[in-house]
């Protein structure tokens, strides 16, 4: 993981960050940092990383079962899916699944190794 994505808590200036900014502000939400843009491309396509994907609405058990590798956590009116994905192909697979189910995507970010949340015990 490179640290090119900008300081935590501040919008990242790169293209990927801008897209997240646009998506987030369109949904009327505060913008959080995105590290999944330019920096990710610099780091290379391969490799497992921990990702966090925020979608609008509370996901029930049926839709949650579409993302077996990810942990779902309710956060306000949203759901945050977190988990390790093998590579970019796996990430795009998750995004395609979300698209197929008509979910509203709010944010995608790659978590830096050091401030990863603790492993869920489950």
The closest alpha carbon to 95, from 77, 81, 111, 75, belongs to: 81
| Residue 99 binds to another protein (criterion: CB under 8 A) | yes
- Tokens coding 77: 């009116």
Q: For residues 120 and 36, what is the distance between their CA atoms, to the nearest angstrom?
A: 22
| 23 scored as a contact of another protein (CB under 8 A) | no
Q: With binding defined as CB under 8 A, does residue 102 bind another protein? A: yes
* Contact partners, residue 95, CB within 8 Å, separation at least 6: 53, 105, 108
Interface with another protein (CB under 8 A), residue from 4, 29, 41, 58? 58
15 binds another protein (CB under 8 A): no
CB of 27 to another protein, least distance (A): 11
Q: How far apart are CA 33 and CA 79, in angstroms?
A: 17
CB of 3 or CB of 60, closer to another protein: 60
Q: State yes or no: residue 80 binds another protein (CB under 8 A).
A: no
What are residue 37's phi and psi, to 5 degrees? Answer: -95, -120
Chain residues binding another protein by CB under 8 A are: 56-63, 65-66, 74, 77, 99-104
């Amino acid at each position: 993981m490179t640290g090119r994505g900008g300081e935590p808590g501040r919008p990242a200036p790169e293209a990927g960050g801008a897209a997240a900014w646009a998506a987030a502000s369109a949904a009327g939400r505060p913008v959080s940092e995105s590290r999944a843009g330019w920096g990710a491309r610099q780091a290379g396509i391969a490799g497992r990383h921990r990702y966090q994907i925020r979608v609008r609405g509370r996901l029930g058990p049926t839709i949650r079962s579409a993302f077996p590798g990810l942990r779902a956590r309710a956060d306000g009116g949203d759901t945050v899916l977190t988990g390790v994905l093998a590579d970019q192909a796996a990430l795009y697979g998750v995004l395609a699944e979300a698209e197929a189910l008509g979910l509203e995507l709010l944010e995608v970010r790659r978590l830096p190794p050091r401030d990863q949340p603790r492993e869920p015990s489950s």
